[in-house]
Structure 1
Amino acid sequence: MEIAGKAVCAFLLLTVIKLRRTEGINRVSAYLGHSAVIACPNMTNITMVTWKISPKSGGQCTLAYLNATKIERINCSDRINWRSKPKWDQALEIQQVEMADEGNYTCEMVNADGNFHHHYHLTVLASPRMALYCDDHGNPVCEAETVKPAAEIWWVPESDSTPRADSHDNGTVTVVSRFTAHSTSGKNPTCIVSHATLNETKSIACFPSHRHLVLFISIILGFLIIITFAAAIYYLKLHGYRFCHKTKPPDIIPTQSSQDDTVEVEPYTTYVQKENVIYNSVSDLTLRQNLPQGRSPAT
């Protein structure tokens, strides 16, 4: 009896193992903002395929394909869907991956041979970025954008400034460090960035900015040009007025005055002459009437 009991237990154990086969956790990664595909091994005679997703944040999502006809979606984002028709392709596709998509993904497949589970852990990576440039004051500035945790920045020679870290909604963090050492000993400052996704070194040579001095000089020159231009206009106007007064012909006014006088005097002279003629005629007639007969007026 004891041997028979052990045989039955062994048979049941083998049956359970056959019906439920679980693979180890497979680690996959995807870049932030890109599409990711998690493949579930293809099997024949499938009666059900189910993706169970436990993301880093938010509730669990279930995507199921039942009896080769029915598709169910429970609490899944529109970005998460089958890559193709689940009847032939059971792979899962995530569009525009976000940091919140990190987490555990389980593909469960059922056919005549039993249940099969495949576990995946998705890690979202952000394309690291490093930038080194000179600011408006001629100081080197080093930036490093990576996924959390923040990158570490060092300067050679050593800088006196403290890096500033800014976190973003997409899960990335940007570290900014400004080089403010008093002396570089003739060497160009070198920025060193260290992170799990980025290890890079860059050097740059920046020169002191004379921006304020140039602006001040430009303002002074502008005032001088305006003053010089105004003085030149005033001088030309003043000089032009004297030039016209000196070169004006002196006989223009007398000539015009003489002509005007002539025009005005001529009518008067003609009138006087006519009056004299009339007067002389009347006088002669009067004398002739008063003289005795036979006498003529003296001429």
Structure 2
Amino acid sequence: MNFLEIGLHSRKAISVEMKSVQKRLHIVLLLLAVFIALARPGYPIAEKVSTLLGNKVLFSCLFNGNVTKMSWMFNPILQIAAIRCDSNKMVLISNNSRIIIQSATCNTSKNEMNLQIEPVQLADDGNYTCEILDQRGVHRLTFSLAVTVPPDISFSIENKLDDTMVAICTASNGKPAAEITWYPNNLGNFSIDITHHSNRTTTVRSKYHISVHQFSEEISCIVSHPAFNGTKNYTIPRNSPALHDSQSTAKILFNLYLIAGVLAAFLCLLAVVHFTVRYFNLHIETAFRNCCASRSSQDISQSNGPFIQMENFIYDSFQPQKLR
């Protein structure tokens, strides 16, 4: 291999290495630009907020730098309020008394415009955007408000006619939907019915079908929801009046079935006796009629005998004598 070939191979290797270095440098510069953009003063950062129905919520919008205008928007085109920093004049567009601008400072080293909602209602659920206008353009900071609605919990027991009882646990009008579990969960079958309402709340109803003969311990309905500090438990004790009512109902039904069975057997026995007596009466009556008919024919034949003999004697007496 001569020196010319060695130089060509070296050049190619250097070219490939330079391209690889350039690609790496481009990636580093891009990441650095993103980092600088995110870290520069006044860059808004999105935030998620969750609060209970009826509470107070405060959205803070802070921005450093020379600001021309600040405003608040809802979902995302409904303007709530705006302030012009050149005239320091604020315009409150929303006429809802629950939504106010808690504080507004503009055209200073620290610009601030805070939005307060009190009390929070279910209709307030949505996105709130703080819009800032400065010499670099428009910047937006969005808060996603999730209103949590605690469900109303109710518990009831239904007694069935087949020795079963149904424990019903209902979490009504909650947001988000509640979770219902049972303990113990191996005593029968359970089902869950979920109903979604137009106001974005949900009702969850769970039914637990339990045989009263298997109910040997306490049964608990466990309801989980973000609005609760942990869970809420509703327990049916072993000596629950509802359970005793169910067992009493089962005993009453058993006794009624027993009485009905005894009555049915008694009626069947009466029917058999009735038809047996009629059968024997019919045979006795038939035999008696046959016997009476035979005796009557014999009596008639005996009573007509002398008359027939007399009739023959008279007939013979009037016959002409043959000449000898």
Q: TM-score normalized by structure 2?
A: 0.46
> TM-score, normalising length from structure 1?
0.50
Which is greater in Rg? 1
